[in-house]
């Protein structure tokens, strides 16, 4: 069977490719060029170029190529710069400007890897696109539908970033490392003789260097217009340099002196206002979300019990869901949750299975 | 089965060339600058290669400076002339918009150091109009650089006319002949140029060797400084094995030049006609004449060139989409863009460049495979548009 593997140059997708080769598949490695990875490092690129983040650099592309050579598979770098700019980066910029906190990885998975790349793969006679995500996809024989499940390593589970996948997309998806622990993946990398076996994990957003996201946004047209910082009663307590510098739940960088720790509670794009308050004011016992994707293709019944995750590293909380019209959902938590950030995703689970997810309003 | 249709990227090293390189590398290790026996042997090898390269382009051996290849030769020509003529007050450089990056990026670097630069436009034909040079050139122009044959579409530029326009205004003329030397007869004096770049690996020689021909008397400053190698024009111990290989490749190329040009031209034309006839929505990019005989650049309507290249590679056929950058990614061709082709066409064109090993069977194989591959890619494009 012909499979295209999206190779980032990291250990997970490298091992994914290796396991597919071992299983006897006809494997084609592809790495996505998402922005001018080479230009950001060459002196002749001129003064306007700046270094992007630490992941997906030209070195990562080289690593992917070397892994492919070790595995004896063809490898291509495909240019998705335009698609990446049009979908992932533009969404990232727009969301921050609206006072929301985006998750670009979700768009990259749903709009590039399991859309554009799948279509490219089909053109090459490949029915599947595999990635190094810690997640699992199973065909449920009872319903005939695909199930999206967590990766078995709880510390590495990445199902949160895949909640937008449709049944059609899942039917083309393979996650070869999803049933393995990270330590086992590294062991496999060593067995396969892959040079990336000891490569550190990446954590940051790949196209923005750590601590640079403000300048990244401002270079792309986000207004640096400041505004007022108000407390929860509406009293002005300070000023700020643009709401794109803030995220709900943020504590550092407010520039306020206060006897009690203050957190960002809300961002108002229309009035360029940042609202701050004590930790208790971040508590929410329910949220609504839009553009919900139900993995099974249809909404579950109202009152369905789930555990819900409101950001990647969030400790999931028990909740009850109420599907709303227009692909929306209300999630009511048993216990109040801190820092429900608009723009982040709420992903709902039934045990190991992803029920669905949506974008927090 | 692997078919190689990317000879403008590089060519396989001829067996006789490889044998010479291996023999020189192991048996003739001397430094050509050394006075003793070993040095003399190495020097003799350089002299022989220099004569062979000179003969290939109808030049004098003393006018040949060995370099590391086309990129260094282009840098040497442009930077060397710029530095030599800076004291005369000349501050202007001209090149065509379809030059290789070795010229374009070098020009940009010089522009940052205060040189004025002008890029000559081309139209759909992919051929520079001499009138545009007449309009652009000034008494300040130090050098005009227009390639002999374009690497992506193969069109041959009117170098004789352009060089004469340059000389009328007191400018030097450089031509990047990397894609023509070894493919068609090249006579530096008939072309009327002052500087000419060539590269060994484009005509079955080794990578990492080439030459800059500098017409006797032309003022060019060295860009690599150090010892007095290459008549004090290019410092650095000579790559004797590579240069020996270049010499043999030049001899072989000269010997079979006309015959091979005729054979490849016929093969290329058959390939083109068959593709145009059997794959709907195809067109040749650029003028079909004058063109180097081995090159064709074809656009496939509603097909992403990147996918077509990969699909062909998976079938064992190596083609290209123009120039590949260092990371091996595919970019829209600056040549097709400079020709004013609309953006879908710059994204759906591939280059097939033929060479010594190619046969009728290779052409038949590609022509048999292409229609189904293109159909499949088009059906997905249409599906995406509908969705």
* Ordered DSSP codes for A109-135: IIIIIIIIHHHHHHHTT--EEE---SE
Cα separation, B147 vs B99, whole angstroms: 6
Confidence (pLDDT) at B330: 58
Which of the 8 DSSP states describes residue B291?
B
pLDDT at B187: 98
Confidence of residue A37 (pLDDT cuts 50, 70, 90): low
Sign, CA torsion A134/A138/A120/A106: negative
Domain co-membership, A7 together with A114? yes
Contact B206, B200 (CB under 8 A): yes
Q: What is the mean pLDDT of residues A203-217?
A: 82
CB contact under 8 A, B310 and A76: yes
**Tokens standing for B79?**
């930077």
Q: Give the C-alpha separation, A116 to A122, whole Å.
A: 10
**Chain-centroid distance, C-alpha B297:** 15
Residues A322 and A252 in one domain: no
| A296 closest CA partner among A176, A117, A177, A139 | A139
Of A191, A213, A243, the residue that ends a domain is A191
Q: Is there a contact between B140 and B170 (Cβ–Cβ < 8 Å)?
A: no
B155 with B149: CB under 8 angstroms? yes
**Nearest in space to A345 (alpha carbons), one of A354, A334, A357:** A357
Catalytic residue among B325, B383, B385, B387: B325
Nearest partner of A150 among A360, A346, A349, A356, judged by Cα? A349
DSSP state, B329?
A: -
Residues A11 and A124 in one domain: yes
A180: in domain: yes
Contact between A11 and A63 under an 8 Å Cβ cutoff? The reply is no
Spans of all domains in chain B:
3-9+256-386, 15-252
Whether A209 is in a domain gets the answer no
| Contact residues, chain A to chain B, C-beta under 8 Å | 28, 33, 37-38, 44, 58, 61-62, 65, 74, 76-79, 119-120, 122-125
Q: What is the pLDDT of residues A145-160, one digit of tens each?
A: 999 999 999 999 999 9
Spatial distance between the Cα atoms of A357 and A109, rounded to a whole number of angstroms: 14
The correct CATH number of B3-9+256-386 out of 2.40.50.100, 3.30.110.60, 3.90.1150.10, 3.40.190.290 is 3.90.1150.10
Provide the CATH number for the domain around residue A272: 2.30.30.280
- The reply to whether omega before A227 is within 30° of 0 (cis) is no
H-helix or E-strand spanning residue B78? helix B70-85
* A288 and A255 fall within a common domain: no
pLDDT digits (tens, 9 = 90+) for A291-349: 999 999 999 999 999 999 999 888 999 999 999 999 999 999 999 999 899 999 999 99
What are the phi and psi torsion angles at B186 (to 5°)? -125, 125
Provide the domain limits for residue A50.
2-191
Residue A204 lies in a domain: no
Considering the domain architecture, whether residues A255 and A288 belong to the same structural domain is answered as: no
A330: part of which helix (H) or strand (E)? strand A328-338
Q: pLDDT band at A168, cuts 50/70/90?
A: very high
Q: Which secondary-structure segment (H or E) carries B244?
A: helix B240-278
User: In terms of CATH architecture, what is B15-252?
Assistant: 3-Layer(aba) Sandwich (3.40)
Three-class secondary structure of residue A24 per DSSP: coil
Q: Are residues A145 and A43 in the same domain?
A: yes
**pLDDT per position as a tens digit, B256-308:** 999 999 999 999 999 999 999 999 999 999 999 999 999 999 999 999 898 99
Does residue A302 sit in the same domain as residue A253? no
Distance CA(A278)–CA(B293), nearest Å, equals: 77
**DSSP secondary structure code for residue B280 in this structure:** S
Q: In what order do the strands lie in the sheet with A236-240?
A: A236-240, A227-231, A273-277, A263-268
For residues B240 and B246, what is the distance between their CA atoms, to the nearest angstrom?
A: 10
Contact A347, A309 (CB under 8 A): yes
Residue A208 lies in a domain: no
- In chain B, which residues have their Cβ closer than 8 Å to the Cβ of A26? none
DSSP B330: B
CATH of the domain at A10: 3.40.50.620
* Average pLDDT for chain B: 95
CATH of the domain at A302: 2.40.30.10
Count of the separate structural domains present in chain A: 3
Asked whether residue A174 falls in the same domain as residue A241, the answer is: no
Predicted confidence band of residue A41 (pLDDT cuts 50, 70, 90): very low
* A120 and A251 co-located in one domain: no
Residue A40 pLDDT exceeds 80: no
Q: In chain A, which residue's Cα lies nearest the Cα of B329? A: A77
Answer yes or no: do A79 and B330 touch at CB < 8 A.
yes
HSE of A27, CA atoms in CB hemisphere, 13 A: 28
Per-residue burial over B123-148, b = 16 or more CB atoms within 10 Å of its CB, e = otherwise:
eeebbbbbebbeebbeebbbbbbbbb
Q: What residues in B contact A124, CB-CB < 8 Å? A: 307, 310-311, 314
B252 phi, psi to nearest 5 deg: -65, -45
Give the gap in angstroms from C-alpha A80 to the nearest C-alpha of chain B.
10
Whether residues A140 and A273 fall in one domain: no
Q: What angle do CA A195, A197, A202 make, to 5 degrees?
A: 110
Rounded (10°) CA dihedral A43, A47, A51, A57? -50
Nearest CA among A128, A74, A81, A125 for reference residue B318: A74
In angstroms, rounded to a whole number, what is the distance separating the alpha carbons of residues A349 and A314? 13
Per-residue pLDDT band at A51 (split at 50, 70, 90): very low
* Residues B179 and B148 sit within 8 Å (Cβ to Cβ): yes
Q: What is the DSSP letter of A88?
A: I
Calpha distance A147→A136 (Å, rounded): 8
Of A44, A76, A123, Cβ closest to residue B380:
A123
The span from the CA of A63 to the CA of A9, in Å, is: 5
CA B382 – CA B304 distance, rounded (Å): 12
From A74, which residue of chain B is nearest by alpha-carbon distance? Answer: B314
Among A259, A277, A295, the domain boundary falls at A277
Q: Which backbone phi and psi does A82 adopt, to 5 degrees?
A: -65, -45
Closest residue in A to B375 (Cα) is: A123
Residue of B nearest to A118 (CA): B380
Residue B85 is encoded by which pair of tokens?
């003529």
Q: What parts of chain B have a pLDDT lower than 50?
A: 325-327, 386-387
pLDDT at residue A210, rounded to an integer: 74
A55: confidence class by pLDDT, cuts 50, 70, 90: very low
The per-residue pLDDT of chain A, averaged, comes to: 90
Q: Are B327 and A37 an interchain contact pair (Cβ–Cβ within 8 Å)?
A: yes
Highest-pLDDT range among A201-205, A209-213, B356-360 = B356-360
| Six-digit token string for B378 | 């088009």
pLDDT (0 to 100) of residue A52: 46
- From B153, B104, B163, select the one nearest B133 (Cα to Cα): B163
Q: Classify residue A199: in a domain, yes or no.
A: no
Distances (CA, A) of B159 to A287, B149, B174, B295, B332: 71, 9, 9, 19, 26
Both A257 and A302 in one domain: the answer is no
Structural domain includes residue A339: yes
**What average pLDDT does range A194-212 have in this prediction?**
84
- Identify whether residues A165 and A37 lie together within a single domain: yes
Closest to A281 (Cα-Cα) out of A253, A260, A256: A260
Q: Is A55 a catalytic residue?
A: no
The span from the CA of B289 to the CA of B106, in Å, is: 29
Name which of B105, B328, B384 is nearest A77 (Cβ-Cβ): B328
């Amino acid at each position: 069977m012909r499979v295209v593997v999206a190779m980032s140059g990291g250990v997970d997708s490298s091992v994914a490719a290796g396991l597919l080769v071992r299983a006897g598949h006809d494997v084609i490695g592809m790495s996505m060029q998402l922005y001018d990875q080479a230009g950001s490092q060459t002196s002749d690129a001129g003064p306007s170029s700046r270094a992007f983040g630490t992941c997906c650099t030209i070195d990562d592309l080289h690593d992917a190529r070397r892994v492919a050579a070790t595995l004896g598979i063809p490898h291509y770098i495909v240019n998705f710069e335009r698609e990446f700019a049009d979908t992932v980066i533009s969404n990232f910029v727009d969301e921050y400007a609206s006072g929301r906190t985006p998750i670009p990885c979700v768009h990259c998975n749903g709009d590039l890897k399991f859309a554009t790349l799948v279509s490219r793969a089909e053109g090459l006679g490949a029915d599947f696109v595999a990635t190094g995500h810690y997640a699992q996809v199973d065909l449920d024989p009872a319903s005939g539908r695909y199930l999206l499940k967590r990766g078995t390593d709880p510390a590495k589970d990445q199902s949160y970033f895949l909640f937008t996948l449709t049944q059609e997309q899942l039917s083309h998806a393979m996650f070869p490392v999803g049933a393995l622990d990270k330590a086992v993946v590294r062991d496999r990398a060593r067995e396969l003789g892959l040079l990336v076996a000891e490569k550190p994990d990446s954590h940051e957003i790949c196209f923005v260097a750590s601590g640079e996201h403000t300048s990244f946004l401002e270079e792309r047209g986000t207004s640096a217009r400041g505004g007022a910082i108000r407390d929860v009663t509406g009293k002005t307590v300070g000023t700020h340099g643009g709401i794109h510098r803030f995220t709900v739940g943020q504590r550092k960088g407010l520039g306020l002196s206060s006897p009690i720790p203050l957190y960002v509670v809300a961002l108002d794009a229309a009035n360029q206002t940042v609202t701050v308050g004590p930790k208790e004011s971040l508590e929410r016992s329910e949220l609504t979300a839009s553009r919900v994707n139900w993995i099974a293709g249809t909404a579950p019944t109202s009152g369905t019990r789930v555990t819900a995750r409101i950001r990647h590293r969030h400790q999931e909380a028990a909740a009850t869901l109420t599907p709303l019209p227009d692909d929306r959902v209300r999630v009511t938590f048993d216990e109040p949750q801190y820092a429900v950030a608009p723009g982040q995703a709420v992903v709902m689970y039934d045990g190991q299975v992803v029920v669905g997810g949506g974008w927090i309003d | 089965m692997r078919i190689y249709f990317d000879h403008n990227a590089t060519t396989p090293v001829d067996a006789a060339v490889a044998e010479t390189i291996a023999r020189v590398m192991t048996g003739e290790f001397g430094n050509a600058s050394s006075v003793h026996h070993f040095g003399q042997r190495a020097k003799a090898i350089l002299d022989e290669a220099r004569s062979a390269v000179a003969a290939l382009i109808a030049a004098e051996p003393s006018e040949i400076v060995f370099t590391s290849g086309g990129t260094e030769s282009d840098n040497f020509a442009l930077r060397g002339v710029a530095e030599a003529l800076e004291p005369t007050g000349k501050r202007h450089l001209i090149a065509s918009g379809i030059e290789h990056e070795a010229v374009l990026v070098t020009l940009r670097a010089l522009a940052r150091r205060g040189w004025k630069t002008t890029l000559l436009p081309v139209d759909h034909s992919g051929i520079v109009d001499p009138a545009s040079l007449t309009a652009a050139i000034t008494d300040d122009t130090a050098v005009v650089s227009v390639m002999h044959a374009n690497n992506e579409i193969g069109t041959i530029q009117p170098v004789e006319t352009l060089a004469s326009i340059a000389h009328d205004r007191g400018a030097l003329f450089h031509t990047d002949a990397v894609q023509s030397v070894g493919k068609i007869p090249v006579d530096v004096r008939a072309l009327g140029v002052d500087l000419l770049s060539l590269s060994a690996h484009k005509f079955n020689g080794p990578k990492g060797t080439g030459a800059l021909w500098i017409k006797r008397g032309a003022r060019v400053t060295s860009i690599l400084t150090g010892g007095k190698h290459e008549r004090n024009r290019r410092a650095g111990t000579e790559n004797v094995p590579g240069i020996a290989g270049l010499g043999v490749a030049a001899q072989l190329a000269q010997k079979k030049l006309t015959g091979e040009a005729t054979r490849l031209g016929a093969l290329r034309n058959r390939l083109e006609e068959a593709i145009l006839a059997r794959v709907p929505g195809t067109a040749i990019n650029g003028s079909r004449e004058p063109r180097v005989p081995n090159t064709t650049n074809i656009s496939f309507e509603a097909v992403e060139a990147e996918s077509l290249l990969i699909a062909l590679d998976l079938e064992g056929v190596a083609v290209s989409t123009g120039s590949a950058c260092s990371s091996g990614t595919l970019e829209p061709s600056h040549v097709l863009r400079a020709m004013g082709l609309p953006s879908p066409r710059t994204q759906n064109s591939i280059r097939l460049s033929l060479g010594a090993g190619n046969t009728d069977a290779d052409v038949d194989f590609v022509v048999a495979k292409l229609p189904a591959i293109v159909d499949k890619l088009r059906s997905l494009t249409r599906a995406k548009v509908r969705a």
